[in-house]
Structure 1
Amino acid sequence: MRTLQLIIYLSFLWFPLNARQDSTLWKTNVELGLRSYLMGTSYPGGDFKNDHAWGQMARVSLSSNLPHGFKVNAEYLGFLRLLSSDLTALDRRVPNLNRYEVGLFDVNHLDRRIFGKTGNLNLAFEMEKFQAKLGRMEINTPFINPQDGRLSPTYVEGLQLHFQLHPQIEMQSNLFWAVSPRSTGGWFGLGESIGMYPVARDVAGSPSAYFNNTHVDFAHVLNANFALKDHGKLQLNHTLVDNIYSAFLAQWDQHWNIPETDLKGITGLQATFQHGLGNGGNEEIDLRYRNPEDYHLILSGRIGLQSKRNLWYLNYTNMQGKGRYLSPREWGRDPFYTFIPRERNEGLGQVDALSTYFQHSFIPHPIQAYSFVGIYFLPDAADARRNKYAVPSYAQLNLGMRYNLDALVRGLHLHLIMMGKVALDQQELKPAWVYNKVNLIHFNTILNYTLPWQHGKF
């Protein structure tokens, strides 16, 4: 990475000295971002450890135009723990750390009250039908993505190429070799990052030992998007994680006009096939991240309706295969239609899931209210071979509201989330199957503020 930093630094010196006097060059856009996040988790009727946390993020982003279509992007993020319960203390019944509130801070150094990190830091090149980035950047693909919420997204370091092959066809290639996962304060090699989130148990039921023992040199994501007739979209994706897995995803989404109404019908189909690669991260079975012989087929579908004010989906997902479906949680969330924020299906061998989503916009007021409801039938929580995190089958409800406060303060946005989860079978639930997992209420209050300075000049 030092070589890349040197290249970007020299570009600041070389380009101005060799460029003609052009008023469009060396203009810099600066953006200040603030994010305040209050979170809490409680267990009504239970005697588990409750937690709360309030974190603050400040971000400064710069983007400078250089000659010949080049651009430099830089970003720094600072984090402050304003207040929290003792996140290093263990629950008296379950010797595990808190799961949700720790994500507001550096999961590798929970004693830090203040920390920071570099986000975007890249040299970009832009033409009409081609863009490229080299360095540190955000990524948003089905399996490797910013993830949901917290104070900052996931970043990767690598090379990104974007091609507009046709007005209706675009392709993107992402090759990367380092990552800064959400809820961390640094940059890491890919194998080094796997296991920073809870490692849970191996297939024999013992604590997993793959953290700091997983060997991954690179990951590559190839994505193709096709714009179809009548507001249709087709996405084809291949994600390859060296020595870990290869996954193929195809997703078709379509909007349909319903005659004599202002409604649109919505349909979606998604198919994913994932299989292991190499030795699964380590030659020693007890130290590997996954069994390379495992494979899974995941089918997901969606139907829905959309009007000017309302949006409704009904989703279904079925997962079948051998072993566990695994994709590093440190790098991104599930891409399946039934995904609901604050939970995932990663780590499971078999899933039947049904979820619905409803959103209402209070036009002309800048307010949206929404809800998720999902039912997830999982393998027995005692089955370590097919249920890595020992999560029982559950139902989940999310209620949320988004409020654009631009009328009061430009760039200010409020987001409220209330989540509840309950086990479908309340009989013989072990404490370790409840804490951080089910029979809980979890709330989030998020305030975002963005202030841009357009075309400032150094």
Structure 2
Amino acid sequence: MKSHIIFLGLLLLCPIFGNSQNNNQQLQSIDSVNLESFNPNEAHSFKEWFQKGHTSGIIRANMMHTLRPKAETYNGALALGGRLYYHTSYWKGLKLGVGGLFTYNVASTNLASNNYMFAPKWERQLFDLQDPVNKHDLDRLEELFVKYRHKDSYIKLGKMLVETPFVNPQDSRMKPSAFQGLWIDWNEGHRLELNGGIFNKVSPRSTTEWIGISESIGLYERYQKGDTSSPIHENINLWILGAHYKINSNMNYHNWQYYISQFSYVNFNQLEWRKSPIQIGIQYVFQKGLDKRQLFSKMPAKQNTSIMSGQVKWIAPKWQISYNITQGLSDTPFIFSKEWGNDPFYTYISRHRIEGLNGVNSHSIKLNLQPFNNWKDFNLGVYGIRTAYEEVDVLLNNSTDSYLNQLSLDMQAHFSKHWENLSFRFLNTILIAKGKVINPFLKEEIFHSQLIVNYNF
């Protein structure tokens, strides 16, 4: 009881400032041309190309607390950092971009623990998973690209942020996931948009180095467990192809395909229909294993797995509520690299993943409230999820039914007038696992909170 009171006290003492994040992944193109003004001849000379460029950035404070009442263990961390970007103007359709970030460990508990059950899993992710004791040298080159745009389409080459269902920045830490490669966005069709690219390097969230695609697979698990052994190096690339079709004014279809040579092929489909106040959505994901030597996963080559997810949502002016379900359709788990992005399924809420789980049956209810008339950009989210799955014990060659329950209170807002560049996110989470839980990290209930303050300029 005493530990519960301490945790609640920590929440009340946190100032209510943070970062506004959307719990659901947005299916949009990278650097979407619909979100920026475009004048191909904005600059008329090489000099004006740079003079008319613009600088932007973000200053972020990020604080986390994790309490395990039963074991009476506590982990906490406060990170402070920023990002700075410079993009030239357009000159004959060309634009250059460069940007980087830095992070400082202002204060934290011991982040170097190798005890996987009580490891400061989330607090480590504020800094550098590869070197958790490093508190100062935490900078990274994040963007370095050249972009050519013609009409409403463009091609982009270099280091960049990527926004797709399975590959995305997952930007709730200090350093989002960034990718190196080539991206093309074609948007000349009346209702059709095509985009895709190839990437050979990634700097995963919560790391500072740029590494090969193969090196990044399983990186989080290795470093959370203190495994510093060298991964198997294979020259593989990540291929992405997206197609988006507006069927009519009420219905949209999205298809994303991911091909990772010697790892897997994934086909993601989403169909959504909306007619006020109802929205209905369905997702279907098919995966085929390609890892013949099982270097990167335990999924045998040619083995298939599939998942379906659905949503029914009621949308009112000041509140929205949805019922969501995700169901595995095969005996094998869906395997994808956590280092590349969050789950895109309708049931997803922060701190809850179904990737890698056997026999998934997940249900969630999401309630979003906008209670203030004079604060349009304030959202209070109350989310609950229950995921049933099979825990596989390799040593005993059997499986048991387990459950992971989670309740989250997610407060997000942007300020206005003189404070319009300031935003916050305040996330509070309770995780309770039931059954014969083999994963040691989830052996007992966990109370977790996160506070993010962003100032954009």
TM bucket normalised to smaller: 0.7 to 0.9
Whole-Å separation in 2 of the counterparts to 1:363 and 1:207: 49
Whole-Å separation in 1 of the counterparts to 2:335 and 2:247: 32
Q: 1:387 to 1:123 in 2, by over 3 A?
A: farther
Q: 1:21 to 1:53 in 2, by over 3 A?
A: closer
Tell me, yes or no, if the aligned pair for 1:406 and 1:413 is still in contact at 8 Å: no
Q: Which runs of 5+ in 2 are unaligned?
A: 1-42
- The one-letter amino acid paired with 1:41 is T
Whole-Å separation in 2 of the counterparts to 1:385 and 1:275: 27
The Cα of 1:152 is off from its aligned counterpart by 2.3
The one of 384, 389, 404 aligned to 2:414: 404
Counterpart check, 1:252 vs 2:271: yes
Tell me, yes or no, if the aligned pair for 2:49 and 2:88 is still in contact at 8 Å: no
Tell me, yes or no, if the aligned pair for 1:244 and 1:277 is still in contact at 8 Å: yes
* Greater RCO (CA < 8 Å, at least 6 residues apart): 2
Q: 1:207 to 1:409 in 2, by over 3 A?
A: closer
Tell me, yes or no, if the aligned pair for 1:210 and 1:288 is still in contact at 8 Å: no
Q: 1:367 to 1:95 in 2, by over 3 A?
A: closer
- The one-letter amino acid paired with 1:223 is G
Whole-Å separation in 1 of the counterparts to 2:340 and 2:114: 26
Q: 1:253 to 1:106 in 2, by over 3 A?
A: same
Counterpart check, 1:265 vs 2:278: yes
Q: How does 1:120-269 map to 2 (within 5 A)?
A: 120-199=143-222, 212-213=231-232, 215-257=234-276, 264-269=277-282
The Cα of 1:236 is off from its aligned counterpart by 0.8
Q: 1:312 to 1:110 in 2, by over 3 A?
A: same
The one of 361, 385, 401 aligned to 1:374: 385
TM-score (norm 1): 0.83
- The one-letter amino acid paired with 1:294 is Q
- The one-letter amino acid paired with 2:410 is G
2:452 aligned partner: 446
Give the SS at the match of 1:228: strand
Counterpart check, 1:421 vs 2:421: no
1:338-378 Cα offsets, whole Å, 9 max, x none, are 11111211111210000011111123214211111101001
The Cα of 1:48 is off from its aligned counterpart by 5.3
The one of 78, 81, 84 aligned to 2:105: 81
Tell me, yes or no, if the aligned pair for 2:414 and 2:420 is still in contact at 8 Å: no
Tell me, yes or no, if the aligned pair for 1:194 and 1:214 is still in contact at 8 Å: no
1:30 aligned partner: 55
**Aligned length, in residue pairs:** 413
Whole-Å separation in 2 of the counterparts to 1:166 and 1:375: 41
Counterpart check, 1:276 vs 2:292: no
Q: Which runs of 5+ in 1 are unaligned?
A: 1-17, 258-263, 452-458
The Cα of 1:50 is off from its aligned counterpart by 1.8
Q: 1:436 to 1:82 in 2, by over 3 A?
A: farther
Tell me, yes or no, if the aligned pair for 2:387 and 2:404 is still in contact at 8 Å: yes
1:8 aligned partner: none
Q: How does 1:263-342 map to 2 (within 5 A)?
A: 264-279=277-292, 282=295, 290-342=299-351
2:84 aligned partner: 60
Q: Percent of counterpart pairs with the same letter?
A: 22
The Cα of 1:22 is off from its aligned counterpart by 8.5
Give the SS at the match of 1:197: helix
1:9 aligned partner: none
Whole-Å separation in 1 of the counterparts to 2:219 and 2:247: 40
- The one-letter amino acid paired with 1:441 is F
1:131-151 Cα offsets, whole Å, 9 max, x none, are 110000011112111125111
The Cα of 1:26 is off from its aligned counterpart by 4.4
The one of 395, 405, 424 aligned to 1:395: 405
The Cα of 1:411 is off from its aligned counterpart by 0.6
Q: CA RMSD in A?
A: 3.0
Say which is worse superposed, 374-383 or 313-322, in terms of deviation. 374-383
1:269-312 Cα offsets, whole Å, 9 max, x none, are 11110011142553xxxx75643243211011100111221111
Q: 1:385 to 1:268 in 2, by over 3 A?
A: farther
The Cα of 1:95 is off from its aligned counterpart by 6.0
Q: 1:280 to 1:176 in 2, by over 3 A?
A: farther
